[in-house]
């Protein structure tokens, strides 16, 4: 209330210092606007055409703006002060880093003093965790997520992998399921190009990429990292196995370069070595899809005559619904299931 009250004595005083007090008085409308009461609901808003035009340009509802002009008239300065105040509030709001509060007008999670209920320990997040949290939060807020679930019969794929174990060891690499997933997904990104795309900044076009770079999530003590293998479609299974192992080791030892974590078109997140039957991975925007892989288990599968034990791999495909529709996602997981069921079909 002080800024609004300050000009009064200066206006009342006829003494010589009055001119010196005139400068604060001239600035009074701008200073008073934040504390001026906005119009009551349903009340008529008094503002000239230029002020209304300015409000439209800023997207401001004039009924929310305090009036400092004569007879409750809203001035240009009132609109400008209101906009500045709103921008300042946005800056002062805690960053959207997956913490207690969010952005985009979402009500914050109430702050709770957990020590009231018992002993606590506050553990600082690593810089990597903080950056990862901010990126995930941004993607979750901006991307309309949908997850398509499916499973693939990898009985023959596993038999092939085991059979090639000696060949891989001779080449100095370990052949896991990941290179086979990378190769299969690369094949599908070329077959179904909308999955190898990004939404243009304008929101009016889709940018299709002619290269196939795939990231894969690596769990490290400091947080999640996603190294990227470039030109996956041009590399052999053994090359992919070697590069994936090298990048994963770099991730765990904090030796990844920024270039080795950029340029992905698609991401694979595998929790198969831990367990689980499915999950909802968050799309790594501006990519439009991410594949989650869980632990393969033996399941009874009907072959038309009897139930047969099959090694089934759970698949979870999260996608950006602005670019990918449900039918396209179902086609992707169906084709991926077919490819993993018989990798020879990639040669056709």
Residue 120 lies in a domain: no
Instruction: Identify whether the C-beta of residue 300 lies closer than 8 Å to the C-beta of residue 158.
Output: no
Residue 123 lies in a domain: no
Return the pLDDT at 45.
Answer: 83
CATH value at residue 343: 3.30.559.10
Q: 0.85 cut: is pTM over it?
A: no
Number of domains in the chain: 2
Which residue among the candidates 46, 71, 273, 321 is catalytic per the annotation? 321
Here the tokens at position 171 are 């080449």
Domain that holds residue 328: 144-347
Beta bridge partners of 316: 149, 292
Q: Is the domain of 164 the same as that of 44?
A: no
Residue 339 lies in a domain: yes
Q: What residue ranges of the chain have pLDDT lower than 50?
A: 1-35, 95-102
Cα separation, 163 vs 144, in Å, equals 42
Q: Is the domain of 308 the same as that of 211?
A: yes
Here the tokens at position 336 are 């991926």
Q: Is the domain of 87 the same as that of 154?
A: no
Cα separation, 339 vs 348, in Å, equals 11
Burial of 20 (0-12, 13-18, 19+ CB in 10 A): exposed
| C-alpha distance from residue 260 to each of 91, 179, 269 (Å) | 33, 17, 17
Return the pLDDT at 37.
Answer: 59
Other C-beta atoms lying within 10 Å of the C-beta of residue 50: 11
| C-alpha distance from residue 348 to each of 211, 235, 240, 343, 345 (Å) | 21, 17, 21, 10, 5
Q: Is the domain of 86 the same as that of 151?
A: no
Instruction: Identify whether the C-beta of residue 312 lies closer than 8 Å to the C-beta of residue 302.
Output: no
Exposure string of 246-268, with b = 16+ CB inside 10 Å and e = fewer, is ebbebbeeeebeeebbeebbbbb
Q: Cα–chain-centroid distance for residue 145?
A: 10
What is the 3 state secondary structure string of 200-234?
A: CCCCCCEEECCCCCEEECEEECCEEECCEECCHHH
For the stretch 319-345, pLDDT in tens is: 999 999 999 999 999 999 999 999 898
Q: Is the domain of 79 the same as that of 212?
A: no
Residue 133 lies in a domain: no
Return the pLDDT at 204.
Answer: 95
Q: Is 321 a catalytic residue?
A: yes
Residue 12 lies in a domain: yes
Q: Nearest to residue 285, comparing CAs of 243, 319, 329? A: 319
Return the pLDDT at 30.
Answer: 43
Q: Is the domain of 210 the same as that of 81?
A: no
Q: Is the domain of 234 the same as that of 162?
A: yes
Largest pairwise CA distance in the chain: 107
Q: Is the domain of 50 the same as that of 194?
A: no
Exposure string of 221-234, with b = 16+ CB inside 10 Å and e = fewer, is eebbbbbbbbebee
CATH value at residue 30: 4.10.320.10
């Amino acid at each position: 209330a002080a800024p609004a009250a300050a000009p009064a004595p200066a206006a009342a005083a006829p003494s010589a210092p009055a001119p010196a007090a005139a400068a604060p008085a001239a600035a009074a409308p701008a200073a008073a606007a934040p504390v001026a009461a906005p119009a009551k609901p349903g009340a008529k808003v008094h503002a000239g055409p230029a002020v209304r035009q300015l409000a439209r340009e800023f997207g401001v509802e004039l009924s929310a703006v305090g009036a400092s002009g004569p007879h409750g008239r809203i001035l240009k300065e009132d609109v400008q002060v209101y906009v500045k105040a709103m921008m300042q509030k946005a800056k002062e709001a805690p960053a959207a880093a997956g913490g207690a509060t969010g952005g985009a007008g979402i009500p914050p999670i109430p702050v709770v003093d957990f020590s009231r209920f018992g002993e606590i320990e506050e553990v600082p997040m690593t810089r990597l965790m903080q950056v990862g949290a901010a990126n995930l939060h941004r993607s979750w807020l901006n991307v309309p997520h949908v997850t398509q679930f499916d499973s693939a019969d990898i009985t023959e794929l596993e038999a092939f992998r085991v059979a090639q174990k000696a060949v891989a060891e001779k080449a100095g690499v370990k052949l896991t399921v990941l290179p086979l997933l990378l190769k299969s997904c690369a094949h599908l990104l070329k077959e179904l190009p909308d999955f190898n795309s990004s939404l243009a900044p304008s929101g009016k076009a889709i940018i299709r990429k002619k290269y196939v770079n795939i990231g894969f999530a690596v769990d490290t003590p400091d947080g999640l990292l996603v190294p990227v293998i470039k030109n996956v479609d041009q590399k052999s299974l053994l090359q992919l196995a070697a590069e994936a192992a090298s990048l994963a080791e770099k991730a765990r030892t904090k030796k990844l370069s920024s270039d080795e974590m950029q340029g992905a078109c698609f991401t694979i997140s595998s929790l198969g070595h831990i367990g689980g039957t499915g999950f909802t991975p968050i799309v790594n925007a501006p990519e439009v899809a991410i594949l989650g892989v869980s632990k393969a288990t033996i399941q009874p599968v009907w072959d038309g005559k009897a139930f047969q034990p099959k090694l089934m791999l759970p698949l979870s495909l999260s996608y950006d619904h602005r670019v990918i529709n449900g039918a396209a996602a179902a086609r992707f997981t169906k084709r991926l299931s077919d490819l993993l069921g018989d990798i020879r079909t990639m040669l056709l």
